[in-house]
Structure 1
């Protein structure tokens, strides 16, 4: 459907957008928090214990933090170094989408799958606002690909690699990895009727490889929690880390027990999907419906040119996660590879069967999405955060000219769908990574204050705070977590700095504490955007202030 040269040109542009995002300031809360947790490992040379600030951390397992810490060891403690494991895992995920698409269908579907996966909005976002999901998603689809290859080709190498991928994914976020891998592979086995592959001695090898892969994580949990029943975690003592990761973790998220509830809306992921898979959402929805209809009409009889791994896995898993009482948009990331392969296969069928009428409707929708992207770009560039330098305008004009050239260039309608969708993603996320996020993060108080600290040569070990409020961005960019001090103790301290909110400064004044120097920066919760903040005329109404004051 697309030439080899065009395919690699797209890959190069997508990777360029990812690389631009590598150097953006870390987002609070999760990205900066996880970066600090990994930083503590390196600074204290302690890779067994997980801490969130001063608290013992029993939630997500160790692999994400270990990989980030390894990157710090190699490249130093930088925001871009923190993002490297996530980006490499996403590239592994893209290659795995290619491999699985090729295995289930053909090379063209494999190529389209990798492009769709890498340009889905939530995956681009996952590589700038890096959490555990980038590593989880990459190794989960890698495992599914290798295990499906074992089912089809009966190779020892494939089942061993599949078990290794499952072990890394499990060590990154726990049971959800095994649920996604297991359900997807069971759907494939059920449709192909190749249950005999489970009776091979090679399955024992896979179990051994999986056990070996997760052993470091289990030992770390055993060392931190099982050996210390006196530790109280979320109000409970006698917590076993091993029991938690094998049993309690996912049930806590499903029920909301321990971590709390944030959404009982069963349809949360239904409307979330509408934006997380942009610009491919409509293609995926039509493709999913077409696949379900085809299986129903054939009464699930096996057809070599169809796969149940994607549509079956998506259906069961989507229903399952919708019952969870704690939901966030990025929880869907682990399903993006399956959606990518399903969408690519559907687009290939449109091409093969020459369904031009439906293809033209989809192309019209893609043009509409591209139009919205262009409107958004002009709105951001000339109103929300105005471009300031002449070269910024030059890059914008060049990008728009490139997109216009390829969009207007004549090519078959099915290839045009791919062209328009990919350039929609590149145009949007190129602007977001190069301009929108850097300007937005100027209003993240912690990272902005860290720049002031560096410029003023303020000793980071003399900065304190007077409550338990997390200060992840300041902690990371100062490379020294801010210590907590009580107000009575603060009265007896000299030549120190206090990082505080407006209310905390008022409290210090009431307690008779004065200061002789004050640095103030704007503060806004940048992951919760509001219209009034985006409007330059009303932005000040939504801003808070963070202060750094010097006590003589």
Structure 2
């Protein structure tokens, strides 16, 4: 028993150390892409204006992205000050959490060794390392996806874990829009391939969860609609419609960078 606990501690320590070495030093890097600069500016303006409902860019409402990523960066800036480190810290911590959560998920579904190797593979994946050093949505979204799957597939399900699954889905939607629901689709595929859909058939999985999801994901949307009306609807959903109206190659590119993590 002591040896087993020592081994588990060593595994978690290895992953935590890997994350600290690979991700956190990158938070001090000075360069950023044009997209990352826009997101950083939106978060900065949120702290300056004190308006945490409507993201703004150049003083104008920014409807193209949901607010959760801006909230997280703005909170970090409020604590650590307006420095590139404050913005990138959010992504660095999300990358570290992704490794730890993936190790736990692999252990739940298969075994501890599989979980550890999966986390090590993700942590040394070149694309993951690259986006983890920039203020982009991808890594926090992957973290929320892994969290949702870990809660849904837990071998000792509880009401709190089931509600946590729906809360993670809501957070994903507040972070990046409808793609935040991807873990639910992954669960359906898993249930089909593994021949185990028992957790989906249980009433406890559905009781309260969808309501919590609508409450968390819908509250901000309702506030934006009340404040900005059709302008927000057209800005937010028009962006989504534009992505799906692009050629097939462009649409494939929209999902490729995220699905590579899976």
Question: Once the two structures are superposed, what CA deviation does each residue of 1:290-326 show, in whole Å capped at 9, x if it has no partner?
Answer: xxxxxxxxxxxxxxxxxxxxxxxxxxxxxxxxx716x
Shift of 1:54: 4.4
Q: Does 1:334 align with 2:261?
A: no
Shift of 1:77: 1.1
Contact 1:176 1:250 (C-alpha < 8 Å) held by counterparts:
no
Question: Once the two structures are superposed, what CA deviation does each residue of 1:24-51 show, in whole Å capped at 9, x if it has no partner?
Answer: 1141301111111100011111111122
Change (3 A) 1:93 1:196: closer
Q: How does 1:39-78 map to 2 (within 5 A)?
A: 39-78=44-83
How far, CA to CA, are the matches of 1:206 and 1:139 in structure 2? 16
Q: Does 1:36 align with 2:41?
A: yes
Q: Does 1:252 align with 2:242?
A: yes
Shift of 1:67: 0.6
Change (3 A) 1:58 1:198: farther
How far, CA to CA, are the matches of 2:160 and 2:186 in structure 1? 20
In angstroms, what is the RMSD of aligned CA positions?
2.6
How far, CA to CA, are the matches of 1:19 and 1:7 in structure 2? 17
Q: Rg bigger for which structure?
A: 1
Q: Secondary structure at the match of 2:207?
A: helix
Shift of 1:244: 4.4
How far, CA to CA, are the matches of 1:19 and 1:92 in structure 2? 12
Structure 2 length-normalised TM = 0.85
1:324 alignment partner, one of 226, 245, 251? 251
Q: Does 1:104 align with 2:109?
A: yes
Contact 1:254 1:324 (C-alpha < 8 Å) held by counterparts:
yes
Total equivalences in the alignment:
254
How far, CA to CA, are the matches of 1:36 and 1:67 in structure 2? 13
2:217 alignment partner, one of 200, 214, 222? 214
How far, CA to CA, are the matches of 2:152 and 2:11 in structure 1? 30
Q: Which residue of 1 aligns with 2:25?
A: 20
Q: Which residue of 1 aligns with 2:3?
A: none
How far, CA to CA, are the matches of 1:201 and 1:8 in structure 2? 35
Q: Which residue of 2 aligns with 1:240?
A: 233
Flag the structure with higher helix content.
2
How far, CA to CA, are the matches of 2:98 and 2:18 in structure 1? 17
Q: Secondary structure at the match of 1:114?
A: helix
Question: Once the two structures are superposed, what CA deviation does each residue of 1:265-303 show, in whole Å capped at 9, x if it has no partner?
Answer: 3xxxxxxxxxxxxxxxxxxxxxxxxxxxxxxxxxxxxxx
Contact 1:92 1:139 (C-alpha < 8 Å) held by counterparts:
no
Shift of 1:220: 4.0
Shift of 1:102: 0.7
Change (3 A) 1:30 1:244: closer
How far, CA to CA, are the matches of 1:127 and 1:224 in structure 2? 34
Change (3 A) 1:196 1:137: closer
Change (3 A) 1:67 1:116: same
Unmatched runs of 5 consecutive residues or more in structure 2: 1-6
Question: Once the two structures are superposed, what CA deviation does each residue of 1:397-446 show, in whole Å capped at 9, x if it has no partner?
Answer: xxxxxxxxxxxxxxxxxxxxxxxxxxxxxxxxxxxxxxxxxxxxxxxxxx
1:169 alignment partner, one of 163, 167, 172? 172
Q: Secondary structure at the match of 1:27?
A: coil
How far, CA to CA, are the matches of 1:91 and 1:224 in structure 2? 36
Contact 2:77 2:86 (C-alpha < 8 Å) held by counterparts:
yes
Contact 1:174 1:249 (C-alpha < 8 Å) held by counterparts:
no
Shift of 1:154: 4.0
Q: Larger relative CO (CA 8 A, sep 6+): 1 or 2?
A: 2
Q: Which residue of 2 aligns with 1:181?
A: 183
Shift of 1:252: 2.6
